[in-house]
Every structure is written in C-alpha cells, then in structure tokens.
Amino acid sequence: MKKALVTGITGQDGVYLAEHLLSQGYDVFGMIRGQNNPRRATVEQAIPQAHIIDGDLLDQGSLIAAISKTQPDEVYNLGAISFVPLSFKQPELTGEVTGLGVTRMLEAIRIVNSKIRFYQASSSEMFGAAKTSPQNEATPFHPRSPYGVAKVYGYYITLNYREAYGIFACNGILFNHESPRRGLDFVTRKISRAAARIKLGLEKKLKLGNLEARRDWGFAGDYVRAMHLMLQQPQPDDYVIGTGESHTVRDFCNAAFRHLGLDWREHVVQDQEFTRPSEVDTLCGDSSKARRILGWEPSVRFPDLVRMMVEADLADLKHEMGPRAASRPSR
C-alpha cells in the first residue's frame, strides 16, 4: 500500500486530496499544526481513515520527524498562508510559511529519503500581471502580492531540488478552484454564503471589492486528481491546471443570486476595505500540456460550480436554523 503525507490537510484541497488518495488505496497521513487546532475535529469527522500527524512548515525538526515517522512514498505540500489579503498584512510570515516552508519540506525529504516524490502547490497568482492570455507553463511570472512572490520562491526552490538533487519534485500551477469547502473569506464562497443568507432573510447586503477582476474558476475536486496524476508520471515536471474559461466577480454574483431568484444589484455594495494594494486583474489557464500528458480534464463548468456552492450553503444554513428556516420569510 502506498503512503502519502499531506500538509494543509485542514484546508479545502487537503480534504479533497485525502479523499481521493484514500479512494486510490493509499494510506494517508495529514499534517496538522498547533495545539488544539480547531479544524482537527472537522478533519477527523470528514476523513476518519486518515492518520493525523503533528508538524508545522515553520519548524524544520517537525518536518524531519513527520517524514521519518510516516516514511511516505509521496508528499503533497498544500500548507500555506493562502489568502492574498492576509499576505499584504503579514508579508514576512507569508514568506516564512508559503515560501521558506517549501525549502524546509524539501530539506526534510533530502535528508530522510530523497526517493520520496514531492508535489508543490504552486499558483496562478505567480503570473499576476501577465502580458499574455491564456497563461501556460512558459508564461513569465509577475506576482502582485507577497503571497504571489512567496509562491514564486516555492516554485523555483522545487525546480532547484529537482535539478540539484534529482528529487522527483513537481509544481502544479493551479488556477482558482472552489467548492462548498472553500474558506468563507474567498470571494466565491463569500458570495454563495451571502446569497443564501439573503435568501433566508438573515442578511440584506454583501460588501465586495473589485467586481471587474477575472478568474478562471474550477472545481477543487477535479484539481486534486491532477496533483496525484503529476506524481504518477515517469518524469517530474510542472503543469498548469485550469478550465480555460474566465469570468468576472460580477458574473459570479449574477449567477449566484439569479439561481436563488434574486437580483444581485439590489444587494451588493462596493467597499474599499476589500480592494487590494495591487490587484491581479485577469487570469485564464491553458492546460493543454496537462490534458495531453496527464489525460486530465475538468468535469465541472462555471454555472454548475456556482449552483453547487449556492445549493450547499443554502442547505447548510437551513440545517443550522432548523425549524426556524421554514417559518422565516425568505426573499
């Protein structure tokens, strides 16, 4: 039985990836940081078959211990400070976790067993102010946030350990991917949650920043399949993963509210608080290499993704409200 160690197991992708690896017959170890991590119980409930192991990307010794103890065949490094606005507020910590954390994990692999295959969660945020569209593996990087800069560092250190030490290390350059498990602060989930709350009469307004930003939004469940496929190839390489379609934040609002019979223009207000010091205006991924070599393709398109997220939030809120949901006047 193959063994995989996943950092960031408490995050959106960590849970989907662990489920996928378990379905492929893997023994899965999920790394959790901190004392009494509040998300530990959620992970234990969602994926009870996964083993939890302590560790922190800020702590070299804990990574060496985790690798020595679990002796994995594959390591998936999903742990990061992944929220772009937080990276502007805490740029140094972002560099430590999202950037240097990659080096610490690669060092642990090099020291304990350099045969371990390594996946690095690289990001389309590295393209930032790209001059060409869609972006592929050859598109130059121009990051626009401390998060993007830290991911560029993580990308190159992964490449360097491949070239310098022959480690089977791959970068998955993933475009935005979403799901009902997406963190509540990311724009898609913020919209789907608010639309559902407004529908149930729990809220009236939704404050957002830049409505014109364009993203290539796919479904997280599809994207974790690509991570696994990258580590099953004969040679390590880097791959762009995206749908090839991009939409504005405004489009997402329109689709989400319309699905509930609401007009987004009556509820969405713009607030400077949610605009960024420097923005990534538009991203769109060209994953022809992944389609050709990995045989990967997305299964969920934009309208279905929006529907999936809105329906899940509505059901979740109704469940939380219990009988109150039926008696409350909805919009």
Report, in Å, the least distance between residue 41 CB and ligand NAP.
12
Active site residue 125: yes
Residue 97 interacts, among ligand NAP, ligand G4F, none and using kind-specific CB cut-offs from 5 to 8 Å, with: ligand NAP
| Residue with Cβ nearer ligand G4F (147 or 168) | 147
Among 46, 52, 58, 211, binds ligand NAP (CB under 6 A): 58
| Residue with Cβ nearer ligand G4F (180 or 209) | 209
Residues binding ligand G4F (CB under 6 A): 82, 84, 123-125, 175-176, 185-187, 190, 208-210, 213, 215, 249, 274, 276, 279-280, 283
| Site track for ligand NAP across 86-105, x = CB under 6 A | -----------x--------
Active site residue 246: no
Q: Tokens 């590295």 sit at which residue? A: 126
Residue 185 interacts, among ligand G4F, ligand NAP, none and using kind-specific CB cut-offs from 5 to 8 Å, with: ligand G4F
Reading the block at residue 95, the tokens are 């560099």
- Alpha-carbon span 231 to 170, nearest angstrom: 7
Active site residue 76: no
Residue among 268, 265, 257 nearest 199 (CA): 257
Per annotation, catalytic residue among 124, 125, 161, 287: 125
Among 6, 13, 199, 306, binds ligand NAP (CB under 6 A): 13
Report, in Å, the least distance between residue 241 CB and ligand NAP.
9
Name the pairing type of β-strands 27-32 and 218-219.
unpaired
Residue 183 interacts, among ligand NAP, ligand G4F, none and using kind-specific CB cut-offs from 5 to 8 Å, with: ligand NAP
Residue among 133, 165, 160 nearest 282 (CA): 133
Reading the block at residue 291, the tokens are 């389609």
Q: CA angle 97-100-103, nearest 5°?
A: 125
Which span (72-80, 244-252, 295-303, 318-326) binds ligand NAP, by CB under 6 A? 72-80
| Site track for ligand NAP across 105-134, x = CB under 6 A | ----------------x-x-----------
Residue 287 interacts, among ligand G4F, ligand NAP, none and using kind-specific CB cut-offs from 5 to 8 Å, with: none
Q: Which residues bind ligand NAP (CB under 6 A)?
A: 7-8, 10-14, 33-34, 37, 39, 56-58, 78-82, 97, 121, 123, 174, 176-177, 183
Mind telling me the catalytic residues?
Answer: 123, 125, 147
